Homo-oligomer: A and B are copies of this chain.
Amino acid sequence: MQTTLKKRLEIVIEAPVIDRLRRVLDDKGVSGYTIIPAVAGRGRHGRWNREGEISDTGRMMVLFAIIDPSELDDMLAAVYAVLSRQIGIVSVSDVQVVRDDHFRRTSRADT
């Protein structure tokens, strides 16, 4: 099958900020993303574990978005505008996709 190169942006970010991050990605017109809850982890801010907690503070979420390489710099800049003051990390890797049209940027989010 014919595949196209895309970038997979993976962001680990503290839960209270996830809505803000989503707004930024929506505004930039990213074609899509998926959010997964993490249950435990470690980083410079220490170890954490979710079991039995009642507040969202201190929990991390993992968001990944598959985007076009041409949009990468723009997205990274936008993501860092949010992330620079918050707890979280970002990484980027290469992926191949089949249905290229699915990952076209939209001028504005559809919501």
**Interface set of A (CB-CB < 8 Å, partner B):** 1, 3, 6, 8, 10, 12, 18, 22, 25-26, 30-44, 46-47, 60-62, 66, 73, 76-77, 80, 89-99, 102-103, 109-111
Question: A-side binding surface: helix, strand, loop or mixed?
Answer: strand
Contact assessment for A89 and B111 in the assembled complex, using a CB-CB cutoff below 8 Å: no
Contact assessment for A31 and B43 in the assembled complex, using a CB-CB cutoff below 8 Å: yes
Residue A12 contacts which of B34, B41, B43, B94 (CB distance < 8 angstroms)?
A: B34
Residues of B within 8 A of A102 (CB): 43-44, 89
Contact assessment for B94 and A90 in the assembled complex, using a CB-CB cutoff below 8 Å: no
Residues of B within 8 A of A43 (CB): 31-32, 102
CB distance from A19 to the nearest CB of B (A): 9
Residues of B within 8 A of A91 (CB): 6, 8, 66, 95-97
Contact assessment for A89 and B62 in the assembled complex, using a CB-CB cutoff below 8 Å: no
Contact assessment for A36 and B10 in the assembled complex, using a CB-CB cutoff below 8 Å: no
Q: Do A98 and B109 form a contact, CB below 8 Å, given A34-B41, A43-B31?
A: no
> What's the Cα separation between A33 and B36 when bound, in Å?
15
